[in-house]
Structure 1
């Protein structure tokens, strides 16, 4: 069986590495559809494929700054994205954020096709977790790519606004075009609802890159929050916490860092990371040329252990390894995010007491023992302001800040992103069209017979 899985992995990897083929060129499938549950598990466990998510959302957020040394010789596309300037990718430029997502969709579609052939001949108890994981991973891929290459969800315009292409089958003749924002998010949610019904209720303690019901509900909560669907986000977060609820005491982390820096730490529901291959930001992190934005660093007060746990101790602080267990920033799903979703959604519904309960329970595990003073709030607005600030501090460098700014620009909490580079200030105003980065030129060039169009500026 290991030999069979290896052959399938090689064939899929070759196909996936042919970046020009991922979305538009017809692909033969007879040799690569997995034929056994072991083959399918091997494909879904491939960390090289399913580990990386996106990095351009980090580049465009306001959590760090590049040093002058990092800016020297930087790819023009990355430099322009960093400065919020209009740009197009070069004709031959590989864009990992796009390729990662559609490679993942390609793998999951092959697994789903294989499962369909085995239904009736293999016990559902064996096939259901595999099918659920495939739907989960495909939804995660589509959600991640939509955060970079499509405008944020807006209920008033979602039925007409342009979303992303959705590769849903292994059919080489599947027509491809950019679907609407509404169809994009409906597809993501429908995949997750299928996953919830199929996945096991318990976390696989040794394989956090395999999904489970709590992880699927957690991703649903993240998706609904990005849509401003507060009630649905609250319900999904509750369901996730009902299945798994564990917070790490950061007082213990100070004494034993491995409690946090571990791929199987107690808070992680699903593991993924920012890409490291051919990634400008990853190299800058390693070389201490991507440093914490000082205004963000100043938000952490004396007694808040996150200042020590998340960052190096320096006036020009860098980022420490986090929940992924390696230097790459964690982009997966964890329990702390669910507490913050609960708190925000409750505040938005006017339930201040319960909103503060979830916020304070989380923060007590983040502060030096005996020094935390619980937050109180006189109104939902006061509660929301505190919760959003703590969300920024707790979920720093997770790839979520850019999504948060995009969604908050649909609310009274909207604000511009500002960046100063070598004395020049650049701004990305609320709801600007540049919140959707350009589709890679390779995709446009190779989609002559499809309907994949460039983003407008």
Structure 2
């Protein structure tokens, strides 16, 4: 596929996604038709890996802004996300970025399905098909964690999930599926992907069988199916059992964590926002205090403000820069397996995992070993390690929602701007952020989240 054709395809896809896939592209424009075309599209890192919604990060991470900083944020939607406003977003960018991935992968899958059977044999075809399925699952997963209520088995068949688009046909009218059906689609795509993907990534920005297992582990953890979360986390870890030793990192570096380091199973980034810009972010003092002496994560993840040495900003993105990483890593897999083990009575396995993680995060690897045998107290310890490890990875918003029906671990969120308090009570409808206004206006079959 020549460069001009590739550019034309990119323009088609971007145009098709404006206004949530409602604008029809010129049917005479070129579309991919070979395996090589599909592989080139799947290798488009800037489109498929870097445009996931940042709203959950803004809403959920353990940080605060001064009133002056908040008022200086130029994008109204970002200011509103920080205070959990009931106003629908004006810009459709967060929604469009993920659905662009869905559209593109549907186009690729359609091309692959229509190839002659003689061309469907071989590792290249299987890996391309699995890669597309994985990306579609990941995009739906990012969306549902932000724009839907927490998964509860007793209401999942009536709670609203995401519009499930499985075809590149733009004439298909979209509406929101149930939460149950949305998660079923995510699981189906990841499950098919794990059977098709190669064991090793063929490109740094690509994916592999272990990443599909990790995606399933994250999904089942969110659904609170801890037995399956354990099993899939275990499979992912067995395929890539590697952790960074933080003793090998330079705490003095502006961004100590390297892009595509050995913990990364799948690299994905959120869109940038000044709401969590390095000059704005002030970390919750309680979170900073939770890193005890010897824990290298404090110096790797954070740095004190020059003029306010007791106030810390964030520098620990796994993307080696200001953009925030929301992908999958072995450290998250290990934490999923540890939590699931604690919840299913596998105390020794949970202890092994949490101590292994801490050993690689402690100065000189001389860490205080955890020996807690009480399952409930051990679970609290694992969740505390999860909060310290997965900072600004988009996991806290998901965890707040997931733990909201646990009276011992639910939290009420509060932020103050210009002397006014903004709250998210436990069990709030605000757990499902408002869908962009343009989406519900252009397609009135897509129901807005209730308030």
- For this pair of structures, how many residues does the alignment match? 443
Describe the superposition over 1:339-366 as per-residue Cα deviations: whole angstroms up to 9, x where unpaired: 1001100100122121111000011100
The answer to whether structure 1 residue 137 and structure 2 residue 135 are counterparts is yes
Whole-Å separation in 1 of the counterparts to 2:400 and 2:80: 19
Whole-Å separation in 1 of the counterparts to 2:268 and 2:393: 10
| 1:42 CA drift (Å) | 1.5
2:376 equivalent in structure 1: 381
1:48 equivalent in structure 2: 46
What does 1:156-167 correspond to in 2, within 5 Å? 156-167=154-165
TM-score by length of 1: 0.92
Whole-Å separation in 2 of the counterparts to 1:227 and 1:181: 10
The answer to whether structure 1 residue 291 and structure 2 residue 282 are counterparts is yes
1:370–1:453 distance in 2 versus 1, CA, 3 Å: closer
The answer to whether structure 1 residue 315 and structure 2 residue 310 are counterparts is yes
SS of residue in 1 equivalent to 2:236: helix
Whole-Å separation in 1 of the counterparts to 2:254 and 2:238: 26
The answer to whether structure 1 residue 371 and structure 2 residue 369 are counterparts is no
SS of residue in 2 equivalent to 1:254: coil
Q: Is the 8 A contact 2:148 2:433 kept in 1?
A: yes
1:28–1:225 distance in 2 versus 1, CA, 3 Å: farther
1:85 equivalent in structure 2: 85
| 1:337 CA drift (Å) | 0.4
| 1:12 CA drift (Å) | 2.8
The answer to whether structure 1 residue 336 and structure 2 residue 331 are counterparts is yes
Whole-Å separation in 2 of the counterparts to 1:343 and 1:445: 44
Q: Which runs of 5+ in 2 are unaligned?
A: none
| 1:219 CA drift (Å) | 0.8
Whole-Å separation in 2 of the counterparts to 1:95 and 1:357: 44
| 1:213 CA drift (Å) | 0.4
| 1:422 CA drift (Å) | 3.6
Q: Is the 8 A contact 2:257 2:320 kept in 1?
A: yes
| 1:16 CA drift (Å) | 1.5
Describe the superposition over 1:285-337 as per-residue Cα deviations: whole angstroms up to 9, x where unpaired: 2xx11222222111111110000011113422111152112221111110000
Q: Which runs of 5+ in 1 are unaligned?
A: none
The answer to whether structure 1 residue 392 and structure 2 residue 390 are counterparts is no
1:433–1:169 distance in 2 versus 1, CA, 3 Å: same
Whole-Å separation in 2 of the counterparts to 1:308 and 1:55: 24
| 1:175 CA drift (Å) | 3.0
Whole-Å separation in 2 of the counterparts to 1:219 and 1:256: 33
TM-score by length of 2: 0.93
What does 1:48-447 correspond to in 2, within 5 Å? 48-50=46-48, 51-74=50-73, 75-89=75-89, 93-122=90-119, 123-204=121-202, 207-254=203-250, 261-276=257-272, 279-281=273-275, 284-285=277-278, 288-313=279-304, 314-412=309-407, 413-447=409-443
Describe the superposition over 1:61-102 as per-residue Cα deviations: whole angstroms up to 9, x where unpaired: 14121233321244443323212232222xxx3232201111
1:129–1:236 distance in 2 versus 1, CA, 3 Å: same
- Supply the RMSD in Å over aligned alpha carbons: 2.1
Whole-Å separation in 1 of the counterparts to 2:427 and 2:78: 21
Q: Is the 8 A contact 1:222 1:233 kept in 2?
A: yes
Whole-Å separation in 2 of the counterparts to 1:370 and 1:169: 50
